[in-house]
Structure 1
Amino acid sequence: MKRYLLLLVFLLLPTTAALADEFRPALLEITEKEPGSFAITWKTPLTKGRRLALEPILPEALEQLGPTSTRQIGDSLIDQSRWRGDTETLVGTSIGIRGLRSTPIDVIIQLDLMDGSEHSAILRSTTPEWTIPPRSTPWTVAASYWKIGTIHILEGFDHLLFVLALILIVPGWWMLVKTITAFTLAHSVTLALATLGVVNMPGPPTEAVIALSILFLAVEIIHSREGRITLTETYPWLVSLSFGLVHGLGFAGALSEVGLPESDIPLALLMFNVGVETGQLLFVGVVVAIREFIKRIPLSWPQESWRVLPYAIGGTASFWVIQRVAGFT
């Protein structure tokens, strides 16, 4: 039976490993430096060393001044250019991304104007265009960053795998609630501190430690089911609190890719965090519902079938650890 379980894990590993990419959206930043003068930054992640086939479609009211400068920073390409145009004519026009309909990636748009108004939007394959509104409001900022946070956690497969592992090992509903709450509080603290510049930790080591936290829980699940005393079962809130601090740094790294509107930093940070919690609660609810449904299926499961999930989680986490450590520069 163990040989078949190991075979299943290794069959699943390429699929789960393919989901290991970080939340790395493309970013289009348009900043009005002087009346009618715009600096435009177009940042796209590299995939297997190649640039994505995406291109901004800007309003006709904008005219480029001079050539575009391109440089590579880490695994991203950054185009910078200068443009001119009448700010008033931008309102009501559209910004689009050519090639987005066939590319599974999010594009974050940041538009900062001299009058103090700041706009944010998310473009996806289903909505590759955005119409510039007359003026942003706190509500639009809140809605935008709530959406960014929700999307991030639902596409952050490493964070979800950690939460799944907690659900599998923590005994009892009330203890699970306290454990998830501790995880939430911890990553909320480090998310805020890192975003505001109080704490700083390089991204690659952070991502590697996040993968290690998942591997640790996978081993804990196996030991627990084998009858051994585990740290996570004894002090689940302490484990989730400790690793939650590291996961918060990972969330901050994702948020730094997007940036925060200078006039609404507290609101944007709060709503990004609320979005993360929204997605996390949705995930927990779905997993718990599936678990309860499976319990009610009148089937006789193989004795060793419980090993499938922790082995799959551990195998995937091991792959991430190796991948992320190998990426250190």
Structure 2
Amino acid sequence: MIRWLAALVLLCLGAPALADEMRPVSIQFEQLSEVRWELGWRQPIASASADRDAVPVLPETCRIEGAVDWRMAPLSSVGKAQVSCRGDVAGKAIGWPAFLGQGEAILRVAPLGRNLQVHRLTPEEPSAVIAAKPSSAQVWRSYFLIGVEHILAGWDHLLFVIALVLLVARPWPVIKAATAFTIAHSITLAAVTLGFGGIRQDAVEALIALSIVFLAVEIARGKAETVTRRLPWLVAFAFGLLHGFGFAGALREIGLPEGDIPAALISFNLGVEVGQLLVVAAVLALMALLRRIRPEAEAQTLRLASYPIGIIGAYWLVDRLVG
């Protein structure tokens, strides 16, 4: 019985690891001067067979100057290089050569004095043509995919959503809590992106970790009558405001295309919501399966799940406070 429960807990907590394997390659190609560009990329390592030395395929008029700067980050290989290009790169192709272990790559091109453009690369379309001016449809599509990527690859946001579903446990209250969380983080995401406020990013990241610890403690308390149990939508709304600052920080790092900021902001937020709903549906399905197979084990399974959630959240909290 204990082994069965442990396996089920690991299955419930397997979603973050799976999401990490879904993380795309991230490529940044930024112009520094008329001929100088900086190329940076991060390749998540999904398996031992992944090509960790892969380098983006540059336009034919560009070449890498000097040695590539390599470093290993947690679960990813990171590269950086200086590039020189002859003439305008508009109309030239740039791509990614190795999709083993990853299904897509997000390419960001930042020409000097022109709008940022974002492209999604796949094994079927491993390269993209750099546009002189990105279209509105391209902005909508690209930022939507970035939003989905951010929620699925952002372990802290992902773990918070999982913990919230485990705490509320029933479909209709989960829908209300998830809606409140969505409305709240949409408010702060828009406010920060449009320049109406903000909080230091290191403080935001620490508070997000604290929110995970808080939910883990609430789950571990079982059916104890608390404000969180009575009004989960209110707690979700309060923490949603906080998580919105985190989403805004990620979007700020990506950059927004001038002239298409509303489209980029709305499509990014819609992408976040789609990714979030996928996670909510997956966790609810697992809980429904548990109730059908072994309903008497639900309370103990939830309590068991709260410990690794709390430990991970506490580790992130300490790391973000002292790291």
Partner of 2:203: 205
Q: 1:220, CA displacement in angstroms? A: 0.7
Q: 1:200, CA displacement in angstroms? A: 3.0
Change (3 A) 1:101 1:18: closer
Partner of 2:321: 325
Partner of 1:110: 109
Tell me the TM-score normalised to structure 1 length. 0.75
What is the percent sequence identity of the aligned residues?
A: 38
Partner of 1:84: 86
Change (3 A) 1:11 1:276: closer
Partner of 1:276: 272
Cα separation, 2, equivalents of 1:156 and 1:124? 21
- Contact in 1 for aligned 2:9/2:304 (Cα 8 Å): no
Q: 1:302, CA displacement in angstroms? A: 8.8
Cα separation, 1, equivalents of 2:157 and 2:195? 22
Moved more, 181-190 or 120-129: 120-129
Write the letter of the residue equivalent to 2:303. Answer: R
Question: 1:266 aligned to 248, 262, 267, which one?
Answer: 262
Q: Does 1:249 align with 2:245?
A: yes
Partner of 2:28: 28
Q: 1:107, CA displacement in angstroms? A: 4.2
Structure 1 runs, 4 residues or longer, greater than 6 Å off: 4-12, 14-21, 66-70, 75-78, 102-105
Q: Which structure is larger by alpha-carbon Rg, 1 or 2?
A: 1
- Contact in 1 for aligned 2:63/2:83 (Cα 8 Å): no
SS at match of 1:40: strand
Cα separation, 2, equivalents of 1:24 and 1:200? 28
- Contact in 1 for aligned 2:216/2:309 (Cα 8 Å): yes
Cα separation, 1, equivalents of 2:105 and 2:202? 21
Partner of 1:193: 191
Question: 2:281 aligned to 277, 280, 285, which one?
Answer: 285
- Contact in 1 for aligned 2:29/2:108 (Cα 8 Å): yes
Change (3 A) 1:175 1:28: same
- Contact in 2 for aligned 1:101/1:128 (Cα 8 Å): no
- Contact in 1 for aligned 2:68/2:79 (Cα 8 Å): no
Question: How well do the aligned residues superpose, as a CA RMSD in angstroms?
Answer: 4.1
Cα separation, 2, equivalents of 1:38 and 1:190? 39
**How many residues are matched?**
311
Tell me the TM-score normalised to structure 2 length. 0.77
Q: 1:234, CA displacement in angstroms? A: 2.2
Q: 1:277, CA displacement in angstroms? A: 0.4
| 1:1-329 aligned within 5 A | 26-31=26-31, 37=34, 39-44=36-41, 53-62=53-62, 83-86=85-88, 90-91=90-91, 93-97=92-96, 101=100, 106-112=105-111, 119-123=117-121, 128-132=126-130, 136-170=134-168, 172-223=170-221, 225=222, 227-297=223-293, 301=297, 304-327=300-323
Change (3 A) 1:10 1:267: closer
> Which string of whole-angstrom CA distances, capped at 9 and with x for unpartnered residues, describes residues 173-213 of structure 1?
43322211111111111112222333233322211211110
SS at match of 1:110: strand
Cα separation, 2, equivalents of 1:252 and 1:121? 20
Gaps of 5+ in 1: none
Cα separation, 1, equivalents of 2:302 and 2:237? 26
> Which string of whole-angstrom CA distances, capped at 9 and with x for unpartnered residues, describes residues 82-129 of structure 1?
533145xx42x3212456646799543224487x67531134678653
Moved more, 237-246 or 130-139: 130-139
- Contact in 2 for aligned 1:20/1:320 (Cα 8 Å): no
- Contact in 2 for aligned 1:63/1:85 (Cα 8 Å): no
Moved more, 169-178 or 213-222: 169-178
SS at match of 1:58: coil
Write the letter of the residue equivalent to 2:109. Answer: Q
